[in-house]
Amino acid sequence: MITHLQDTVTLHNGIQMPGLGLGVFKVEEGPTLVQAVITAIQHGYRSIDTAAIYANEESVGEGIRQALAATGLKREDLFITSKVWNADLGYEATLAAYETSLQKLGLDYLDLYLIHWPVQGKYKEAWRALEALYAQGRVKAIGVSNFQIHHLQDVMSDATIKPMVNQVEFHPRLTQKELLQFTKEHGIQLEAWSPLMQGELLDNPELKDLAAKYNKSVAQIILRWDVQHGVVTIPKSIKEHRIIENAALFDFELSQDDMDRIDALNQNLRVGPDPDNFDF
C-alpha cells in the first residue's frame, strides 16, 4: 500500500507506477490545464493521465515542459499515460495513434499506453500493436481501460504480454469486487477513473459521516478507500487547493469496519458507459 504521494506500485513487468496521479478528463486545451499540470507536479504529483479523445494532450505536454523547467525534475521522474481512441483501434492505426499522441505531448515515450474501450472485434489487433511498441522499447508499460473480466480473458487468451493495468470506473457506488479480485489474481493493476463519481458522492450522508469522524473531506475518505484497496487513482481537478487536498491522504487510515461500510454503498451504478453496451 502506498504511504505517501510519491510512493509507487510495481507493475508485473517491474515498472514503478505512482499510486496517485492527476486526471484531466473533460479539461479543455489552454492555460488553465497547463497551470493545473504545473501545480500538480510542483505539489509532488508525478503521474498525469490523459487520452487522445480528451483533445488536450498539447496542453498537458506544455504543462509538463514548464513544470520540468521550474522544478529541475527530469522527464524520467514523471509517469505519463495516454490512451488510443476507438476510431484508431487496429494494428497500423494504433501504431500511428501512438506517434500522434507523442507528437502532441512533445514526448519521446509514454510510461503507459492504454486501449481506451473494448470495441468488439478491434481491441485484439490494437493489443498486438501495443505489444509491438512495448517490445521495441517505445513505451514502458501497456494496458487497457474499461475492460471487464471476459474482455481481459479474451485478450490474454492469445496475447504474448498480459495487460499491466486496467483503468476502470471505480468508486463506492461501483466497487467492482469481482474485477478487483480477478486483476489481483492475475497481477494486473486496477486503476480508478472517476473515483469521486464525478462529484456525485460528495453529498453522500454515510461518507459525510465518515469525513466528520476522521476530520477529512469526503473526497479524501473516498481516495483513501482506493489506496487501502490497492487501487491506483487519478482524481481530476484544476483548482490548486483541491489538487493539494486530494493528495493529503497519508496521515490517517480507515478502519476495516469503515472500509466495509464504504464497500456496502455499492449499487453497481455507473456514471460512465457500460463496457458491455456502448456505441462509440
What mean pLDDT is predicted for residues 152-180?
98
Q: How high is the pLDDT of residue 78? A: 98
At 188-211, the pLDDT tens digits run: 999 999 999 999 999 999 999 999
Between these two residues, 167 and 1, which has the higher pLDDT value? 167
Band (238; pLDDT cuts 50, 70, 90): very high
Residue 17 CA to residue 9 CA, distance in Å, equals: 5
Number of domains within the chain: 1
Is residue 277 a part of any domain in this protein?
no
Helix (H) or strand (E) holding 133: helix 123-135
Query: Residues near 124 by Cβ (< 8 Å), separated by ≥ 6?
Result: 154, 155, 158
- Would you give the DSSP letter of residue 55? T
Residue 176 CA to residue 103 CA, distance in Å, equals: 35
Q: Is 54 a known active-site residue?
A: yes
Is residue 273 a part of any domain in this protein?
no
In the three-class reduction of DSSP (H, G, I as helix; E, B as strand; rest coil), residue 29 is classed as coil
Is residue 3 a part of any domain in this protein?
no
Which of 45, 54, 113, 134 is catalytic? The answer is 54
- Would you give the DSSP letter of residue 19? S
At 39-79, the pLDDT tens digits run: 999 999 999 999 999 999 999 999 999 999 999 999 999 99
Is residue 33 a part of any domain in this protein?
yes
Residue 55 CA to residue 83 CA, distance in Å, equals: 11
Please state, for a pLDDT cut of 90, what percent of the chain lies above it: 99
| 49, β-bridge pairs | 23, 81
At 113-134, the pLDDT tens digits run: 999 999 999 999 999 999 999 9
Whether residue 172 is predicted with pLDDT greater than 90 in this model: the reply is yes
Is residue 270 a part of any domain in this protein?
no
Is residue 269 a part of any domain in this protein?
no
Q: How high is the pLDDT of residue 70? A: 97
What mean pLDDT is predicted for residues 228-250?
97
- In 3D, which of 73, 1, 2 has the Cα closest to residue 40? 73
Query: Residues near 86 by Cβ (< 8 Å), separated by ≥ 6?
Result: 116, 117, 119, 122, 280
Is residue 164 a part of any domain in this protein?
yes
Task: Tell me which residue range forms the domain holding 135.
Answer: 8-263
Q: CATH number of the domain that 124 lies in?
A: 3.20.20.100
Q: How high is the pLDDT of residue 1? A: 86
Is residue 276 a part of any domain in this protein?
no
pLDDT mean across residues, the chain:
97
pTM of the model: 0.97
